[in-house]
A and B are shown apart, each in its own frame.
Chain A
Amino acid sequence: MIQYLVRRLLWAIPVLLAIMVVTFFLARAIPGGPFDFAGEKQLPESIRKNLERKYGLDLPMYVQLGRWIWDSFRFDFGPSYASRSQTVNDILKRTFPISFQLGVLALLFALCVGVPLGTIAAVKQNSIVDYGATFMAILGVSMPTMVTGPLLMWVFALILGWLPAARWGTDYTQLYLGFFPNILSGKFWLHAILPAITLGLAYSASIARLTRASLLQVIREDYIKTAYAKGLPARRTIILHGLRNSLIPVATVLGPMFAGIVTGSLVVEQIFGIAGMGKYFVISITNRDYPMIMGSVLVYSVLLVAANMLVDVSYAWLDPRIRYD
Chain B
Amino acid sequence: MAIFRRRRAETRRAEGRSPLQDAFRRLLKHRAGTVGGVFILILILVALFVDTTIPAAIFGWEAKPLIAPKHYAQVSFFERDLPPGTPGYLLGTDYLGRDILSRTLYGTRVSLSVAVVAATVSLVIGLTYGVISGFAPTGVDNAMMRFVDFLYGFPLLIFVILLQAYFKAVSRKGATGLVGAMVNIDKALGGMFFLFVALGVLNWIGMARLARGQTLSVKQKEYIESARALGAGNLRIVFRHVLPNILGPCIVAETLAIPGYILTEAFLSFIGLGVTPPTPSWGLMISETYQGIRTFPWEPLIPGAALAATTLAFNFLGDGLRDAFDPRLRGT
Chain A residues packing against B (C-beta within 8 Å): 12, 14-15, 18-19, 22-23, 26-27, 29-32, 125-126, 138-139, 141-144, 146-147, 149-151, 153-154, 158, 212-213, 216-217, 259-260, 262-263, 266-267, 270-271, 282, 285-286, 293, 297, 300-301, 304-305, 308
Q: Main SS of the interface on chain A? A: helix
- Closest chain-B Cβ to A93's Cβ sits at a distance in Å of 20
Interface residues of B in 250-301 (CB under 8 A from A): 259, 263, 266-267, 270-273, 283, 286-287, 290, 293-294, 297, 300-301
Residues on the A chain within 8 Å of B271, using CB:
266-267, 270, 282
Q: Nearest Cβ in chain A — how far from B321, in angstroms?
A: 14
What residues of chain B lie closer than 8 Å to A217, measured between beta carbons? 332
Interface residue from A27, A146, A305 paired with B153 (Cβ < 8 Å): A305
Q: What chain A residues lie within 8 Å of B283 (beta carbons)?
A: 146
- Known contacts A30-B166, A146-B290, A151-B304; decide if A22 and B270 are in contact (CB<8 Å): no
Contact of B312 among A139, A153, A286 (CB under 8 A): A139
Contact B267 A154 (CB under 8 A): no
Q: Which of B266, B293, B319 contacts A153 (CB 8 A)?
A: B293
* Minimum C-beta distance from B160 to chain A (A): 9
Residues of A with C-beta under 8 A to B307: 144, 146-147
List the B side residues contacting A32 at CB < 8 Å: 169, 173
- The complex places the Cα of A216 from the Cα of B329 at a distance, in Å, of 11
Given contacts A26-B166, A138-B312, contact A31 B319 (CB under 8 A): no
| B interface majority secondary structure | helix
Q: Judge whether A293 and B162 touch: CB under 8 Å.
A: yes
Counting chain B CB atoms within 10 Å of each CB, which of A12, A126, A150 scores highest?
Answer: A150
12 of the cross-chain contacts (CB-CB < 8 Å) are A23-B159, A142-B308, A146-B267, A147-B307, A150-B286, A154-B293, A262-B155, A285-B162, A297-B162, A300-B155, A304-B155, A308-B152
Residue B2 lies at the interface, judged by CB distance under 8 Å to chain A: no
In-complex Cβ contact of B267 among A213, A267, A300, A308 (8 A): A267
Q: A15-B150, A271-B290, A285-B165 are in contact. Are A300 and B158 (CB under 8 A)?
A: yes
Closest 10 CB pairs of A and B: A213-B332, A147-B304, A142-B312, A142-B311, A15-B153, A31-B169, A26-B162, A150-B290, A31-B173, A285-B165
- What residue in chain A is nearest B270 (Cβ atoms)? A146
**B315 contacts chain A at the CB level, 8 A cutoff:** yes
Do A138 and B316 touch across chains, with their CB atoms under 8 A apart? yes
